[in-house]
Amino acid sequence: LGRRQLPGGAEPGEERLLLRVRREDLEVALGRGGREGLPERPRRRILADLDRAPAPVAPVVPWAEPVFDRMMVEVFRGCTRGCRFCHAGMVYRPVRERSPERVKELARALARRTGHHELSLVSLATNDYGSVREVLCDLASELGREGISVSLPSLRVDAYS
């Protein structure tokens, strides 16, 4: 078999081109060089106000049953712990919470538009959300009358009281 017929096989010139592209990408990723028109190092952007952030309230609802057949509302971003082993806890700093009123408004909008029977309040660790008790009680009471359950899928065991 020739080189082109083998999986991963390429002409010698193509191999050099692929290696060059990969080195350039690595240099950019390490912050040692930029591409034309781009800064040397990318700047981090943080969405400061989650209440003003766009949130999906009219998702496409499939006819087939999906694996995650539920509505989801992000209650906050970031993490209060800052554990050194946790990538997400470091990358998504600082902590930004959605107001309880906005969370409930998004949940109601999703309930009206999707027909799902479960709502998940999501974040890295939802029990760290400052208004979790208020939002959970209000939504469970209100949406429960419509046959919609509310879940907290991401919890840390040490935060229960």
Provide the pLDDT confidence category of residue 6 given band limits of 50, 70 and 90. very low
Lowest average pLDDT, out of 47-56, 109-118, 151-160, goes to 151-160
Segment holding 107, helix H or strand E: helix 100-114
Provide the pLDDT confidence category of residue 79 given band limits of 50, 70 and 90. confident
Q: What does the pLDDT average to over 54-81?
A: 81
Residues near 96 by beta carbon (within 8 Å), at least 6 away in sequence: 46, 47, 48, 49, 50, 76, 77, 78
Residues near 54 by beta carbon (within 8 Å), at least 6 away in sequence: none
Task: Convert the pLDDT of each residue in 87-106 to its tens digit.
Answer: 887 788 888 999 999 999 99
Q: What does the pLDDT average to over 114-119?
A: 91
Q: What does the pLDDT average to over 119-130?
A: 92
Half-sphere exposure at residue 52, Cβ-oriented, CA atoms within 13 angstroms: 4
Instruction: Give residue 39's pLDDT.
Output: 65
pTM of the model: 0.64
Instruction: Give residue 28's pLDDT.
Output: 62
Between 71 and 67, name the one with better pLDDT: 71
Between 54 and 150, name the one with better pLDDT: 150
Does pLDDT of 3 surpass 50?
A: no
Alpha-carbon Rg for the chain, nearest whole angstrom, is 23
Q: What percent of the chain shows pLDDT beyond 90?
A: 35
Task: Please give the mean pLDDT across all residues of the chain.
Answer: 79
